[in-house]
Amino acid sequence: MTRVLVTGAAGFIGSRIVGQLREQGIDPVAVDAMIPEAHGRSPQIPTGVTRVDVTDVDAIADLLDGVDVVCHQAAMVGMGVTASDAPLYARHNDLGTAAVLAAMHRAGCGRLVLASSMVVYGSGRLRAADGSRVEQIPVRDPARTDAGDFEYHTKDGQLISWELTGEDAPLRPTSLYAASKVAQEHYARAWSIATGGAVVALRYHNVYGPGMPRDTPYAGVASIFRSRLAAGQAPLVFEDGGQMRDFVHVDDVARANTMAITAHTEGFSALNVCSGQPISIGEVAGVLARRITGPTPVVTGEVRPGDIRHIVADPTRARETLGFTARIGPDEGLAEFATAPLRDAAR
């Protein structure tokens, strides 16, 4: 039987992976650093989870005896609050991954499933109206956005449209979090080359579902919308709400991980984990508000620095490599999420 170590095992996604593994008869070694940004200042450590700082090579190596696969979910997530968050991302994400890889090498563990993210792409695949591919993220003209036109345009004024983004798209991080996720992938790829180990980097798109953290600037947009609705406030939708995304349910994300854990892959593989059903940010807010008869979402027209207009995933490679296809579509999943329990705020 495969023996698995799961880092970040008390987190939103990690806890679901642990649960699914146990349902399959696999009792993983479950560890979590319980960082305050995710769990608060005085967290309750779940039963079966050991508190371990993943940057501690010795501590991780001691837990890897007989372990076949590390499922590395531990990370500080979200877009951050200010640029002063950079050292936190570098420590928890990049140093943490480097330490896990060093411990794996020391212990002779040769397989890693890595939690990566869609943010590594920056903007997704883009194409101009004349059919040419746009290789650089355009800078939007403030005069256009002030007038309510939030789409990208070429220098000669052509409208730029989004396309499905495959894993071969260039990596163009536009936030501190994104930069840290790219670095994690680069460490993992280099480790794979140096050791002959296998890595599956799962690039999660917008993950949501029961147990998502509430009332924190580090949470995803679906949680932020939910938190406002729970407080009787209208969700605030930036730009015009037309930003296209792929929202994928946490149970599907956990299933992709369990499939990657038992898959027979070699070298470094990066795979999108997505629903395959694009939806706009405005639609997400609308579905949540209507489901609970809450306040109508407010479209602010605000453009935030570093925000990406569109990023929508191509699900093909995950289906071909792992046999993974999402089972929960956004209509069904978001309707459930509107009333699902959330984790208490980190304090």
pLDDT in tens, 192-221: 999 999 999 999 999 999 999 876 655 688
Lookup: tokens for 79: 């877009």
pLDDT in tens, 155-164: 999 999 999 9
pLDDT in tens, 110-164: 999 999 999 999 988 999 999 999 988 888 999 999 999 999 999 999 999 999 9
With 60 as the cut, is the pLDDT of residue 346 above it? Answer: no
pLDDT, averaged across the chain: 93
Lookup: tokens for 170: 């260039």
Question: What pLDDT does residue 138 have?
Answer: 87
pLDDT range class, residue 79, cuts 50, 70, 90? low
pLDDT range class, residue 347, cuts 50, 70, 90? very low
Residue 337 to residues 235, 286, 291, 334, 340, Cα–Cα distance (Å): 15, 13, 9, 5, 5
Question: What pLDDT does residue 219 have?
Answer: 65
Question: What pLDDT does residue 213 have?
Answer: 84
pLDDT range class, residue 235, cuts 50, 70, 90? very high
Residue 200 to residues 3, 43, 125, 264, 313, Cα–Cα distance (Å): 17, 30, 22, 10, 17
* Eight-state DSSP code of residue 83: G
Of 213-217, 253-257, 278-282, 305-309, give the lowest mean pLDDT range: 213-217
Residue in the structure block whose two tokens are 């792409």: 121
Question: What pLDDT does residue 70 have?
Answer: 98
Lookup: tokens for 336: 């459930």
Which positions ≥6 away from 164 have C-beta within 8 Å? 124, 125, 312, 313, 314
Residue in the structure block whose two tokens are 């938190």: 227
